[in-house]
Amino acid sequence: MSENLLSIVLFTPLAGLLVLLFLPRENTKLIRWWANLTAAAGFLASLPLLLRFDRAADGYQFVEKREWIPSLGVSYFIGIDGISLLLVMLTTAMGLIAIFYSWDVIRTREKEYYAMFLLQQTGMIGVFVSLDFLLFYVFWELVLVPMYFIIGVWGGPRKLYAAIKFFLYTLAGGVLMLLGILTLYFQYAAQYGRYTFEITELMKLNLPLGMQQWVFWAFFLGFAIKVPMFPFHTWLPDAHTEAPTAGSVILAAVLLKMGTYGFIRFSLPLLPRASADQTIVTVLIVLSLIGILYGALVSLMQQDWKKLVAYSSVSHLGFCTLGIFALNEAGIAGSVIQQLNHGISTGMLFLIVGVIYERRHTRMIAEYGGLAHVMPNYAIVFAFAMLSSAGLPLLNGFVGEFTILQGAFQASKWWAALAVPGVVFGAAYLLWLYQRTMLGEVTNEKNKGLPDLSWREWAVFVPLMIWALTIGVYPKPYFEILEKPVAQIVHRVHQTSTAVAQADGTAREAISR
């Protein structure tokens, strides 16, 4: 049991999905119950990972390795380190919350809806646990399909446009990424005389800088579109706005993290010299900074509540990529923590839009005003989510932002100095949104008599609020979980990029450990 733990976590949603397919589609109550049970089981199954995880150990844990397509060197090779652990926990937790929230909201084609969500869960977990590059790619592309249908079938008025845009954009990135993967694959074969996609093996590759750079840009497209980094972000506002609430939550909380995770897991360790290359770092940092400021400024202008939250994601993810390419411990650890934080805070903000959308079926900010008077509990939860997103100390966002900026500052004073105004704008667009929707007199007749939060909605928000508060007050466990893997990545990038000349021999020995 213990040695298969990770596989159990990975395939619980898929197993649930298989059973779900045999449930009668008319019995929607049974389907909902089953989907919730599966999601809960998926979350519970992931808890032992957290409990048994050894923070002091190097390398990967819960490793499983079986041959899959031996002739091509493809294996079923999974395992996690601290970085993947946190993202897997985020996935199972947010998956449960998203499915639970959908209970009253989704009333058409429930069977397909929950099937898509469960499939997506397995796909996302797969992305975070794969140590075989082709396996990773399979999961990466697998995630695309359910999200396409979730947006395209259960989405808002412009759902088809948004779904296709989402699909084509990310597909385009994925294909280039595959090309990069294959380059590494063939290079490995050329150097070592056998074929493998195992990233632990591919790390031994000694590639000339020029080729590393080429592969880096191929990966970059795949990851940057997913994050999304400026200027590849325009699919995001459309996808987010049209997706059903639970879809937006998963999209923001987990799906985008696949991109940032890709940079940390693959680009940095596999292509250390390219990752530390001055031009590449500068381009990535500049794009991150533009994303931070641009996302925040455009948020300031939105008339559509949900689009505002979507653009704020661009800004927050800019902080995450900024941290990664600071290429030091504080930056990368801060980035991973901020990825969790973004999942929690933006997840809450999307749920908040969802709550009001279910009641009024409009997302236009101008339709609202004075809601605090009608829905006081809702106002409190919204305020909490806003503060967590805006990075108030003692809530989660601050810890990530501060650590990232300190890391960025260590790397370059100017980068950090340019990113800090993003924090100011972050407060501005959220406060303004809050003022326009929640404060003042109730001006729209239709908003009078709206019911306050239901118990189900409370049940969705309370765990997220507690999570946000615990990260904010006591983030130490998270830093401890991240310490080893982050140090390893940083070490690898710096060691390899400084010891360019004597890259083979002893240095490679040290790296491959």
Partner 1 sequence: MQHLWLIPAFPLAGFLVNGIAGRRLPKPLVNTFAVGSVLLAFLWVLKVLAGLQPLEAAYTERYFTWIQSGFVNVGFDFMVDRLTAVMLLVVTGIGLLIHIYSIGYMAHEDGYSRFFAYLNLFMFFMLVLVLAANYLVLFIGWEGVGLCSYLLIGFYYLKKSATDAGKKAFVVNRVGDLGFSLGMFVTMLTFGSLDFATVFGKAQAEGAALNPQTITLICLLLLVGATGKSAQVPLYVWLPDAMEGPTPVSALIHAATMVTAGVYMVARSAPLYNLSPTALEVVAIVGLITAVMAATIGMTQYDIKKVFAYSTVSQLGYMFLGLGVGAYSAGVFHIMTHAFFKALLFLGAGSVIHALSGEQDLRMMGGLRSKIPVTFTVLLAAAVAIAGVPPFSGFHSKDAILLAAHAHAPWMFWVGVVTAAMTAFYVFRAIFLCFFGTYRGDAHPHESPLVMTLPLGVLALLSLAGGYFNVPHYLAPLFGGEHAPHDETLVAISVAAGLAGIGLSWLFYVAAPSLPERISSALGGVYRLVYNKYFVDEAYDALIVHPLRDGSRALLWGVMDARIVDGAVNGAGALARSIGSGLRMWQSGYIRRYAAWVVLGSAALVAVAAFWGGAR
Q: Is 405 in the site for partner 1 (CB under 8 A)?
A: yes
| Residue with Cβ nearer partner 1 (175 or 500) | 175
- Closest approach of partner 1 to the CB of residue 8, in Å: 30
Q: Is 64 in the site for partner 1 (CB under 8 A)?
A: no
User: In sequence order, what are the residues at sequence separation of 6 or more whose Cβ sits closer than 8 angstroms to the Cβ of residue 367?
Assistant: 360, 444, 446, 447
Applying the rule CB under 8 A, the residues between 422 and 481 that interact with partner 1 are 423-424, 427-428, 431-432, 435, 439-441, 474-476, 479-480
- Give the contact letters, 154-173, x = binds to partner 1 (CB under 8 A), - = no: ----------xx-xxx-x--
**Residue 438 CA to chain centroid, in angstroms?**
29
**Among all chains, which residue has been given the structure tokens 């750079």?**
213
Phi/psi for 440 (5° steps) reads: 85, -170
User: In sequence order, what are the residues at sequence separation of 6 or more whose Cβ sits closer than 8 angstroms to the Cβ of residue 228?
Assistant: 235, 236, 256, 259, 314, 317
| Residue with Cβ nearer partner 1 (34 or 325) | 325
- Closest approach of partner 1 to the CB of residue 360, in Å: 20
User: Distance between CA atoms of 189 and 35, rounded to whole angstroms?
Assistant: 44
- Closest approach of partner 1 to the CB of residue 406, in Å: 5
Applying the rule CB under 8 A, the residues between 317 and 336 that interact with partner 1 are 328-330, 333-334
Question: Tokens for 178?
Answer: 């595959």
Among 34, 133, 219, 409, binds partner 1 (CB under 8 A): 409
Applying the rule CB under 8 A, the residues between 362 and 381 that interact with partner 1 are 370, 372-373, 376
- Closest approach of partner 1 to the CB of residue 443, in Å: 11
User: Distance between CA atoms of 382 and 403, rounded to whole angstroms?
Assistant: 25
- Closest approach of partner 1 to the CB of residue 268, in Å: 15
Q: Is 414 in the site for partner 1 (CB under 8 A)?
A: no
User: Distance between CA atoms of 161 and 157, rounded to whole angstroms?
Assistant: 9
Among 20, 99, 134, 399, binds partner 1 (CB under 8 A): 399
Q: Is 82 in the site for partner 1 (CB under 8 A)?
A: no
- Closest approach of partner 1 to the CB of residue 141, in Å: 8
Q: How many CA atoms within 13 Å lie on the side-chain side of 5?
A: 20
Q: Is 33 in the site for partner 1 (CB under 8 A)?
A: no
Among 48, 79, 156, 421, binds partner 1 (CB under 8 A): 421
| Residue with Cβ nearer partner 1 (167 or 325) | 167
From the list 13-21, 40-48, 80-88, 186-194, the region that binds partner 1 by CB under 8 A is 186-194
SS3 state of residue 276? coil
From the list 52-60, 88-96, 187-195, 246-254, the region that binds partner 1 by CB under 8 A is 187-195
Q: Is 178 in the site for partner 1 (CB under 8 A)?
A: yes
- Closest approach of partner 1 to the CB of residue 160, in Å: 9
CA nearest to 166, candidates 79, 254, 98, 238: 238
Taking each helix axis from N to C terminus, what angle separates 159-192 and 133-154, rounded to the nearest 10 degrees? 180
Phi/psi for 68 (5° steps) reads: -120, -65
User: Distance between CA atoms of 356 and 44, rounded to whole angstroms?
Assistant: 30
Q: Is 407 in the site for partner 1 (CB under 8 A)?
A: yes
- Closest approach of partner 1 to the CB of residue 290, in Å: 10
User: Distance between CA atoms of 344 and 383, rounded to whole angstroms?
Assistant: 14
Applying the rule CB under 8 A, the residues between 216 and 235 that interact with partner 1 are 231, 233-235
Q: Is the peptide bond before 208 cis (omega within 30 degrees of 0)?
A: no
Contact 464, 90 (CB under 8 A): no
Provide the 8-state DSSP code for 367: G
Question: Tokens for 310?
Answer: 């979507």
Applying the rule CB under 8 A, the residues between 483 and 502 that interact with partner 1 are 483, 486
